[in-house]
Structure 1
């Protein structure tokens, strides 16, 4: 069979290794002129326009982030996510939403492991799914963090679908909010009466997606007062994430002691509102994963102290209204940097929020924050934008922030 890997992204090597078997001819197809870290001996078809000329392939594997309608072929368009769902022998707990996917997936994983289950965490946060596929037994459990890009053309839904809050995101790729929601909706669309749908009862779009499902509904958030003290991560939004995770594992874990053990074992993911350092009685937090205004809003609401929030990057077409309203309440100042800094400055002025514009790199931004901050303040890198205007990815952005904070001298 002649197979094209359309787009050689983060899942590229796993897909190549999976399909590059005797009897298959695998060609890596990408509109970029050059690719790094290609498998030895790999065949390639590179350059502008190549995705529209795939008529000779039997199967085209779409990488997440590549719109399906950019591929023109007479063969079948497929994805590694579809392949995994088709072949996986174990039940899958799928987690999607605009924010909180990684944290919720990790909490689910920890609680299942506390109960003695063998768990495979795959997707955005874990191992590429196809790399893990051969290790999975039927009595294991898979936790799959699913983005809209992975869900876009999914043809089978997970046994347990977790739909966190949905808000505008990835509008630089999706043509409309409706398209984004419809892509997310595939997590629920093919469920049966034997499945479970966990959804955010306070979010209209999450409820809309739950309406696509025939599964047993499990709305959240709900009070977890007896478990709340076990949480090691700050913020009311993480209490909500924990309640979603508890609902997701209800079929597998019933002992409250095991739920507490799983919750308490999780101390947070890198670049998710992680404490970095205190310098001169100013605390610095890295929330580089926050690429939406809603995520930044959650970070701001996690602390009662006066705050300096570092915002900016590549604009994804989000709505900053609620974030600006929260900042306008009086104890938040913004330092705007990156490609959309002037837009953020204009928005801040419209809402009466104090905002400084910084044209420098991350070291300059952190230095400006340190100069502005007073003892007792919280400085948060929570950009509400994508990273690739100045950085390789959100992790690179967060690491540069951590390095810059580490260089600050205590007075």
Structure 2
């Protein structure tokens, strides 16, 4: 009997609660109804559309949807905190709490490459996918990026490869790890949701804690947190570094990229082969090389490096308007991302920043803003917090305070940026904060910026 059939047999006549209804669980609803389970679809939003109608299905909508724990299994979305009061109560009652991604890991018949980190997850995952698909017929990409993975489960076979981008909210409850795991870096993030930095880091560690001796973990040697993980892993450790020659991993010397393993060193390509700008993208490529060096010919790695234009909303060039250059880096929902973006440009920029507060320290960001920004355009809930931090760092370091303008919305921010620009200036949207104060997500924020810029 196949894994899928065994799984569906276990679910027969079980009462299953699906928390948070969206595209990621539409396939799951159909799968569970076919297994003759009884489903309770729950959502905080009372306006959730009742798409499915079935005798074995009911809806519980509104803020109290989790109070009645009369089920055998709860399938949560990543947005529902694993340590919320109601889910803790559920686990104490021996109710199984799982997720779509955990079910996928249980049922997937093929190799999984998982990528996590505070920054660079999407670009690294996408690069692995783009390189592997040049030389392999069936490669799939999903998880925290793109389409849900569970619908693929019926068509996957053991020779395929799935690349999965994993967030801390997905990893926090996982008890299976990918065959190959990559951690791009770690820095404070999502501290508005996670109890503290320890909880955030511990959730990320689940990407390798459940590996076996034949697994592989790729770690950032230059990152203090990830470097320490080497003593906690079970599989093969590979590192990547911008600064140090490594015995096992990818590294750079004299603008050449190398990979070393088992006392053998191979030159992969020149740094100049990489089309994407930025030191952070060099790190992404080094991580990719570690993950798939033994799976593809080097020529495919070079080919993608020379042609890959990047993922939308990541230092994305938008428009040259009268020799003023606009860039969209809406993905920058943390200070470290904005720091990386500012380092890409060899001149001071006009920076649009601000948004929803994730309770992350701002000292490092404030320091680089004082060095790399000629005019700061602020919007969103964190405007005052950013200003306070910059003023503090300015006074401590005897640095001149930069010019700034506070705005109410993106339209005003873009118009003010352009009005105050000169020829050859760069206007960069790199908010350093999440979008939730003004937008549904970073994509909506970035698209709004691009639309406004293109209509100037």
2:282 paired with 1:282: no
1:48-67 → structure 2 map (5 Å cutoff):
48-54=63-69, 56-67=70-81
Post-superposition shift, 1:209?
3.8
Residues 348 and 355, structure 1, Cα contact 8 Å, conserved in 2: no
Cα distance, 1:44–1:112 mapped onto 2, change above 3 Å: same
The higher-RCO structure (CA 8 Å, 6+ apart) is 1
Q: Does 2:157 align with 1:109?
A: no
Aligned equivalent of 1:15: 28
Q: CA separation in 2, counterparts of 1:142 and 1:30? A: 29
User: Deviations for 1:336-369, whole angstroms, at most 9, x for unmatched residues?
Assistant: 1011111112222223342424332211100111
- The aligned residue for residue 217 of structure 1 is 237
Q: Which residue of 1 aligns with 2:265?
A: none
Q: Are 2:342 and 2:372, in contact at CA under 8 Å, matched by a contact in 1?
A: no
Supply the distance in 1 between the matched residues of 2:402 and 2:66 (Cα, whole angstroms): 46
1:292 aligns with: 334
Is 1:250 the counterpart of 2:293 in the alignment?
Answer: yes
CA RMSD of aligned residues (A): 1.7
How far is the alpha carbon of 1:180 from its aligned partner?
Answer: 0.5
Shift of 1:210: 4.3
Find the partner of 2:48 among 35, 38, 42. Answer: 35
SS at structure 2 position matched to 1:50: coil
Larger Rg: 2
Match of 2:248 in 1: none
Alignment partners' CA distance in 1, 2:236 and 2:349: 42
Partner of 2:407: 359
Asked whether 1:372 is paired with 2:420, we answer yes
Shift in Å, 1:331: 4.5
Task: Give, in whole Å, the separation in 2 of the partners of 1:146 and 1:91.
Answer: 15
Cα deviation, residue 264, structure 1: 3.0
What SS does the aligned partner of 1:285 have?
A: strand
Residue 177 of structure 2 is matched in structure 1 by: 157
Looking at structure 1, the residues matched to 126 and 119 of structure 2 have their Cα atoms a distance apart, in angstroms, of: 13
| Distance (whole Å) between structure 2 residues aligned to residue 367 and residue 37 of structure 1 | 42
Cα separation, partners in 2 of 1:272 and 1:217, compared to 1, 3 Å: same
Q: Deviations over 1:354-385 (max 9, x none)?
A: 24243322111001111122212211111111
For 1:267-294, what per-residue CA distance to the aligned partner results, in whole angstroms no more than 9, with x for missing partners?
A: 1111111000011211110010110000
- Within the candidate set 282, 285, 297, 1:239 is matched to 282
Alignment of 1:162-173 (within 5 A): 162-173=182-193
Match of 2:96 in 1: 76
TM value normalised by structure 2: 0.85
Structure 2 residue 309 is the aligned partner of structure 1 residue 267: yes
**For 1:198 and 1:318, how far apart are their aligned partners in 2?**
26
The answer to whether the 8 Å contact 1:169/1:318 transfers is: yes
User: 2:442 aligns to what?
Assistant: 394
Q: Report if aligned partners of 2:316, 2:329 keep a CA contact under 8 Å in 1.
A: yes
TM-score (norm 1): 0.94
Maintained 8 Å contact 2:347/2:372: no
The answer to which of 173-182 and 341-350 deviates more is 341-350
Output one character per residue of 1:157-183: Cα deviation in whole Å (capped at 9) or x when no partner.
Answer: 101100011111111111111000111
For residues 318 and 342 of structure 2, what CA distance do their matches in structure 1 show? Answer: 16
CA 1:40–1:286 in 2, change beyond 3 Å: closer, same or farther?
Answer: farther
For 2:197, the equivalent position in structure 1 comes to 177
1:157 and 1:200 mapped to 2: Cα distance?
18
Deviation at 1:37, TM superposition (A): 6.8
Stretches of structure 2 lacking an aligned partner (at least 5 in a row): 1-13, 242-250, 258-268, 395-400
User: Hey, what's the Cα distance between the residues in 2 that align with 1:2 and 1:260?
Assistant: 51
**Shift in Å at residue 310 of structure 1?**
0.8
Distance 2:317 2:422 in 1: 18
Instruction: State the secondary structure of the residue aligned to 1:299.
Output: helix
1:316 aligned counterpart, secondary structure: coil
Structure 1 gap ranges (5+): none
- Taking the TM superposition and a 5 Å limit, the aligned residue runs for 1:198-213 are 198-213=218-233
* Per-residue deviation, residues 16-58 of structure 1 (Å, max 9, x unmatched): 233232411111122333314744555211222332321x211
Q: CA deviation at 1:91?
A: 0.6
- Establish whether residue 25 from structure 1 lines up as the match of residue 38 from structure 2: yes
How many residues in Structure 1 have an aligned counterpart in Structure 2?
406
Structure 1 CA distance for aligned equivalents of residues 133 and 325 of structure 2: 33
Comparing 306-315 with 65-74, greater Cα deviation is found at 65-74
> Are 1:336 and 1:355, in contact at CA under 8 Å, matched by a contact in 2?
no
- Counterpart-to-counterpart distance in 1, 2:192 and 2:31: 30
Give the conservation status (yes or no) of the 8 Å contact 2:366–2:386.
no
